[in-house]
Amino acid sequence: MRNKLLIISPLEDERAAIKEILSPDKWTALEAANSGEALSVVKSEGEGVTAVIFAVAADEIDFFTFAKDAARYAASAKIPAMVIADKDSVELKLMAFDFGICDVMIKPIAADILRQRIKNITDASRSREALGNIIRLQKREFHRYKQPILDGLRSMMEYNNLESGRHIKRMQLFTQTLLEEVVRRYPEYGIDDNHILMIAEAASLHDIGKSAVPETILNKPGPLTAQEFDIMKTHAQQGYEILENLNKNAENCDRLFMRYAMDICLYHHERWDGRGYPKGLTGDTIPIHAQTVGLVDCYDALTNDRIYRKAISHGDACTMIIDGKCGAFSPRLLACFKNVKNTFLELSEAYSDNPSAASTAEPPVYGLRPAVKREMAQEAKLFDDRGCDNGAASNFIGVNRYLDDANLTLIYTGCGFFDLFKYTKEEIASRFHNHYLEMIYPPDRQRLLSSFKKYVAADSPFELVYRVMAKGGTLVWVLDKTVSLVDGDGVRYYSSLLIDITKIKEREEILLRSLERYKIIIDQSNDIIFEWDIMSDEFFISPNWYKKYDYQPAGSGVKIKENPCVHPDDVQAVRRILDAMSTGTAYMEEELRIADNLGNYHWGRVRATALFDEMGNPFRVIGVIMDIDSDRRQTYELRIKAERDSLTKLYNKNTGREQVERHLQTMVPGDMGAMFIIDVDNFKHINDSYGHMFGDAVLSKLAENISSIFRSSDVVSRIGGDEFMVFMPHIPNAATAYSHAEQILNAFGGILHENMYSRNLSCSIGVAIATSEENDFQSLFSHADQALYQAKRCGKNNYVAYGERTEAVPQMEDSGASSRTSGSSIESENQLGVNPSEMLRLTFDTLRERGGFDSALNLILNIIGKMFNVSRAYIFESTEDGLYVNNTYEWCNDGIEPQITLLVNIPILDFGGDYRKNFNEEGIFYCPNLEDCSEELQELLGAQGILSTLQVSITEEGKFKGFVGFDDCVIHRLWTQDQINALVFIARLISEIICERRGSGQ
């Protein structure tokens, strides 16, 4: 297997860095500094190179030339290529993909993502290569399977004395000759050389329906009665149905060939003026290939002996056809016939039903195309009515009859039978006693006899596949088309047509091995292979789908369109693929989210390739669904980290500016926007008095409140410690901006009241209006900043609009805010009436005075819970093996539902992931707002009604033993640093007592 990566970069350090990143995956790295070196490496290594990585600096190298070279080198050896560029742009990516580059990464490079994306493009390349091999093999098999089917059908016609071998060959050559003239004179029919040969071959089956007509009518020497002629006319419909059934049930039939053959069977007796049968079609509503075969059939019937009349001369036959004595034909077709009638005469003489009448020398072929001349020269002697006496029998076809007895005794064997198995008649009699069963391969005998019993009861023709022992010990696979009959004495026998399918079976074995290799490739990757038959609208999808998504998808294109199992935003992508591929698009690629059985979405990359028939119409789509979920999520997380503020999850300063500038650049005349710069008043006092953890919680709550005021299309960002910037595009007037500024002021006022603090927060806001004429970011920001400082100078807790409002808006009525602006500090003592010293004294006294350990702990939780007015206080303890935790103690405030009986033997690793990772290095897990936690934690804690939580781990010798926790199920609580410190101290004290009790075995 190829395992070499070619790394191309003009910088040696960069090549070394990429090589180091990829070293864990055991790639052999090849290096090149420029395009010339790269070409040399590709030429020398050949198919040994798995993928090519181009690291390019857009400002140093002409990327256009570089990418073009990349695509050329990669395509020459069918190697997938990736580009790593310094700068990101849509133009760069479009240009790269246009040149055939598989993927584009932008620096800086994340090692895990680079390794995964290299794996993705190499896996996809290998899957495409395997798919291509399978597709090519299948297309070859379509054509190989067709010939034995044709041989069998033709032999059946000969066996039933319907047509001679020479008649079949004449029909093919007459049809080919006439169609070539039609195409030469009337190219608008759109028939090319390949189709001519296909139609000529299909012409040999034009009367296959006569096998369903009673022999008494078929071989009647005199004229038919009206009733008999009505029965005879059914052969057109009967032939169509025979081939239609074959087309449905034979997987490897060539669909276009069968379409031609079915048309010819059904319509070759239709006539131009509508007086034909069975449909009474007129003009060019009759397919041109059926019109052609209809005229050819008339000519051959007139110029050769039939059981009901003798042949007439070539000249008389041509006159009857041209004069309409055989029914009306297309004027165009008659004009073409006049031009080739001499060629018809030559072919008629060369392939006469009377071999003695034909010249033993090479037949005259003047005026025929070279391909027809060669075919006649090679095959003129191979066709005879039966061919037994001149050694011309087919090596593939054998005819025999045998009795319905224990040994299947042979009563008739055709010469093809002897050629098929290489035995003489005498050898079969002496060695096998004329017992056909003895010739059949022993492991197949019992199955064959059982099949006879089953099908005889059904009293209909049937097919069997088995092996026969030929001379020399070789095994011959045969397709046995058999019918059970009864002779005049009431003796049952089988009439059998044998077709040699040994080569087909060998090819099947090769195909099965290829498919097995292909299956191994599929099983070893996570990719999902799918196949869509456009004509039947049937979908096949590999088992990897069920493994990944745990359900079976819809089985047709229509159903997939109606219920595509994808994210609502991606439904159109699925429909685009199906519609485009069914209308002739050769290749498509889409990325979309697919739902699993639980409704969770996973990102996948769909790559689809269409297969086309000889007419250029798409008939099948084969593709792959690659799992890119991890890649997309990692990319998304990295983008979020790069764009968002880690505390508030708002846009950071740089991203906020980029978003605003993007809006400003798209403003049109008459458009208006507004920028707000928001500064929290006296925020330093919050941090100094309550601690930074409390301050961070306040900032997160402020960010949430500000975001709730604005639209999803507005830009909200944190640009400093306690400063925020907001931009509202497309507002109707300035009053809208001022209204939002007032809403922000109001939103600040109630934040601490929610957490039962007596003081309020406030902010100062500067507002600047943007228009299509004044839309420079730097100027707009400067104006809003100047307005902000004007608001600060005017007493804070208000907003000022630049330019339009020169005086500050009157200060909001808030005594708390006023006291803070005058310089007073925010005190933390006596908040909620909590005195840490008193709380600790009560705790020690309780533990010392209470006689029972459990009742003491319950009382402590009661005291702490009421002091801090929390919803629930509790203790979780781990099991001895450390794999589970149990809620062992709990106190609940009024109206809070207890959880202690529900939270028993909870696996730590299933507790929203590894629950221990939620605690920081100090053993504290503090979550003021559950919505800021992971989805797993939201599901776990939300089920208990928790909005905020503070938990402290219980550890012993560095090992996790449980935790003490305090929940609020009423508000999003903001804990002060003093409160956190006090609760942590109490939790640690409880932890030591619990660990001491564990050690004593109590």
Q: Which residues are catalytic?
A: 722
Cβ 292 vs Cβ 199: under 8 Å: yes
- Calculate the CA 598 to chain-centre distance: 19
Query: CA-based Rg of the chain, rounded to a whole angstrom?
Result: 44
Q: Write b or e for each residue in 264-280: b if 16 or more Cβ atoms lie within 10 A of its Cβ, otherwise e.
A: bbbbbbbbbeeebbbee
- Neighbouring C-beta atoms of residue 568, cutoff 10 Å: 8
Angle formed by the axes of helices 235-249 and 255-267, nearest 10°: 170
341, 265, 271: which is closest to 302 by C-alpha?
Answer: 341
Q: Write b or e for each residue in 957-981: b if 16 or more Cβ atoms lie within 10 A of its Cβ, otherwise e.
A: eeebbbbbbbbbbbebbbbbbbbbe
DSSP string, 109-175: PPHHHHHHHHHHHHHHHHHHHHHHHHHHHHHHHHHHHHHHHHHHHHHHHHHTTS--HHHHHHHHHHH
CA distance 122 to 627: 13
CA distance 391 to 608: 52
Cβ 548 vs Cβ 528: under 8 Å: yes
152, 153, 203, 151: which is closest to 177 by C-alpha?
Answer: 203
List, in order, residues 6 or more apart from 626 with CB less than 8 Å away: 120, 123, 124, 526, 527, 604, 605, 607
692, 698, 686: which is closest to 648 by C-alpha?
Answer: 698
Cβ 448 vs Cβ 466: under 8 Å: yes
Residue type, 676: F
Q: Write b or e for each residue in 929-941: b if 16 or more Cβ atoms lie within 10 A of its Cβ, otherwise e.
A: ebebbeeebeebb
DSSP string, 351-419: T-SSGGGS-SSPPP-TTS-HHHHHHHHHHTTT--SS-TTTT---SSEEEEEEESSTT-BEEEE-HHHHH
991, 982, 919: which is closest to 955 by C-alpha?
Answer: 991
CA distance 442 to 989: 86
CA distance 815 to 792: 17
- 424: number of CA atoms within 13 Å, CB side? 3
Beta strands 723-728 and 475-486: pairing type? unpaired
CA distance 308 to 305: 8
CA distance 90 to 104: 11
Cβ 311 vs Cβ 303: under 8 Å: yes
